[in-house]
Amino acid sequence: MKHIVLTIFIFLIFRGASQSCLSEIYPYDTLYALPYFDRDIKSSNAALYKNELWLYTPTLKENDTLYFQVFNLDKRTVVQKTVYVPSLSFKVSYPDSRAFAVTNNNLALYFHGVVLVLKRKGNGLFFETIFPINEGIEFMHLTDDRKLKLGKAYNFHPLSQSTKTFAGVYDLNSQKFNSYINPSVTGIEFTHFSPRQHIAFSDKFTATADMLTYFVTVYTNSLKDSVTIKRSIDNFGLNAEQKMAYEKHRTISNAKTLIDSLSEIEDNIARIEWIGFINDTTLLVRHIPIRQLDKNRIRYYDVWLFSNNKWSLSQTDIADILPSTEIYNRKNMPILSSQSTILVNDKFLVVQSKGTDINFLYLNQQDVKKRQDEYYAEKYPCIRLDVHKKH
């Protein structure tokens, strides 16, 4: 296996007042807020493809029909699409989907133990195939040439799945895996703390990230050749005392007890929380600093670019939220990384969360909090989709 290491040494003493914000790169565009289709399943799953945002809204009310909301983010329109899947209820024990991907020709959804593949033809959706997989898939990417990339995060119980991680490329044409790996992730126990994503896909690459070191491995589609990118940041990861506590607690066999035991450490370490590809040449890495007393825990994004067969650090420490009492505008709108799922491509960044239907634009932090308190006093949380768009 070919393996190249690129190291970028950047030591941070402090973060300057001129800190940039992610909304400067992706200015705020619009808000979509929808009620949950079925209040017995307060979940949803979204996929972004070019200018289309697909939202899957599961329901227990109809066994063999799936419902999707499809947003054209350029035209700001939305249509509902449905697909009838014969005998789906016999193959899917629960309609909640944990991973979802879309292209111009197909949709793929992971349910517990199976992957469902649908065909797009004209304005319609049609059943293509369903196949079992003995992995708890959480991350998914579908290419136009029908390669389905699947990734699994940490599954705690060793009896439910034999491997802690999984990343593979499944060919929908041949109906078999072209390649797969079980990548090692340092500090994988911290993936219990949401939101997190330590496996990411683009059409050409698969990336995996450690939790406790700034260490990201980028694989080609063969999953044999890889390049590792690093960045050195002061006080990143565990100190000596935390290492001792971590080594003691990580052997705990009960998931809840493990989370409780690691919570104090998690509050006081800087680590990678999320990675995601914008395209085949741009990778975002989100990391969180040590929590400061009486302050929200801001997340920071780094931008890595692929050029001349190597990855280089282009931008560092782009904040998701700027601490400010100023009125929110399109270029300082907070991106609530700590509460949300982030979907991103060349043109759009979508923040999917469970929240309110309040548009934060032209409000300040105090106004937002007041209106949120009033909302939750009277209403159920809704599906919130905040769309940011490059111009």
Condensed to tens digits (0 to 9), the pLDDT of residues 273-317 reads: 999 999 999 999 999 988 765 566 789 999 999 999 999 999 999
Q: How confident is the model at residue 283, as a pLDDT?
A: 98
Which tokens belong to 206? 């698969």
Confidence band for 6, pLDDT divided at 50, 70 and 90:
very low
Which positions ≥6 away from 165 have C-beta within 8 Å?
151, 152, 153, 154, 182, 183, 184, 185, 188, 199, 208
Condensed to tens digits (0 to 9), the pLDDT of residues 229-240 reads 999 999 999 999
State residue 156's pLDDT score.
Answer: 57
For domain 3-235+270-389, say whether CATH 3.40.50.300 is its number.
Answer: no
**Least confident range of 14-23, 70-79, 297-306:** 14-23
**DSSP for residue 197:** B
pLDDT at 96: 87
Report the alpha-carbon angle 182-185-189, nearest 5: 115
DSSP 50: T
For residue 153, give both structure tokens: 């995060």
pLDDT exceeds 90 at position 119: yes
Computed over every residue of the chain, the mean pLDDT equals 88
pLDDT at 251: 77
pLDDT tens for each residue of 34-57: 998 876 777 789 999 999 999 999
Place of tokens 């063969």: 222
Confidence (pLDDT) at 66 = 93
> Sorting pLDDT into bands at 50, 70 and 90, what band is 1?
very low
Residues of the chain with pLDDT > 70, as a percent, come to: 90
Task: State yes or no: pLDDT of 2 exceeds 50.
Answer: no
Looking only at the bridges linking them, the beta strands covering 3-9 and 226-232 are: parallel
Alpha helices in the chain (DSSP H): 22-25, 88-91, 240-249, 255-266, 365-378
pLDDT of residue 17: 35
Q: Is the pLDDT of residue 62 over 80?
A: no
Q: Is the pLDDT of residue 391 over 90?
A: no
What pLDDT, on the 0 to 100 scale, is given for residue 19? 60
Calculate mean pLDDT across residues 173-190.
Answer: 92
Matching residue, tokens 């992957």: 115
Helix (H) or strand (E) holding 387: strand 382-389
Task: Single out the residue of 342, 350, 338 nearest to residue 388, CA to CA.
Answer: 350
Strand partners for 207: 200, 218
The pLDDT-based confidence of 13 (bands split at 50, 70, 90) is: very low
Find the mean pLDDT for residues 366-372.
93
The residue ranking higher by pLDDT, 164 or 211, is: 211
> At 121, is the pLDDT very low, low, confident or very high (cuts 50, 70, 90)?
very high
Bridge partners (DSSP) of residue 228 are 5, 217
